């Protein structure tokens, strides 16, 4: 159909970093929620734009958010794709983890 615009233009990139990070976190044992539930339900949400990855922890109350975000942060900081300058921040009742995804070095 000529002139039809894809519904989600973000999925056109060759590497989908948000999906990859969600899979890694699920493999590590974290229950990652679908992005459609964001701001409507409690959960842990992963989003990416370009190489910037953001993990939002919203589990109902502040103490649980901070504790869970600390545990996730201590898990992911060990991964090769997460740089040393990753940061953990809190905003109102929600915690965020932000970092720039590091692509694996090409083997020569």
| 106 part of a folded domain | no
Q: For 8-31, write each residue's pLDDT tens digit.
A: 555 555 678 888 899 999 999 999
Which whole-number Å values give the CA distances from 27 to 31, 37, 94, in the listed order? 9, 21, 23
Q: Rounded CA gap, 97 and 99, in Å? A: 7
First to last CA, the chain: 43
- Is 2 a domain residue? no
Per-residue pLDDT of 71-103, as tens digits, reads 999 999 998 888 888 999 988 789 999 999 887
* Residue 1 domain flag: no
Mean pLDDT over each residue of the chain, to the nearest integer? 84
Rg (CA), the chain: 15
Calpha distance 46→22 (Å, rounded): 6
Number of structural domains the chain divides into:
1
Is residue 24 one of the residues assigned to a domain?
yes
Backbone angles phi, psi at 47, to 5 degrees: -140, 150
Of 52, 19, 16, 12, nearest to 35 by C-alpha is 19
């Amino acid at each position: 159909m000529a002139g039809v615009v894809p519904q989600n233009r973000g999925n056109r990139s060759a590497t989908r970093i948000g999906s990859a990070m969600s899979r890694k976190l699920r493999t590590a044992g974290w229950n990652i929620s679908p992005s459609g539930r964001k701001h409507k339900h409690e959960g842990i949400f992963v989003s990416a734009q370009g190489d910037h990855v953001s993990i939002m922890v919203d589990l109902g109350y502040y103490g649980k958010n901070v504790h869970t975000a600390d545990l996730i942060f201590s898990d992911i900081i060990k991964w090769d794709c997460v740089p040393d300058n990753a940061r953990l921040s809190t905003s109102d009742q929600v915690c965020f983890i932000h970092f720039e995804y590091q692509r694996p070095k090409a083997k020569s």
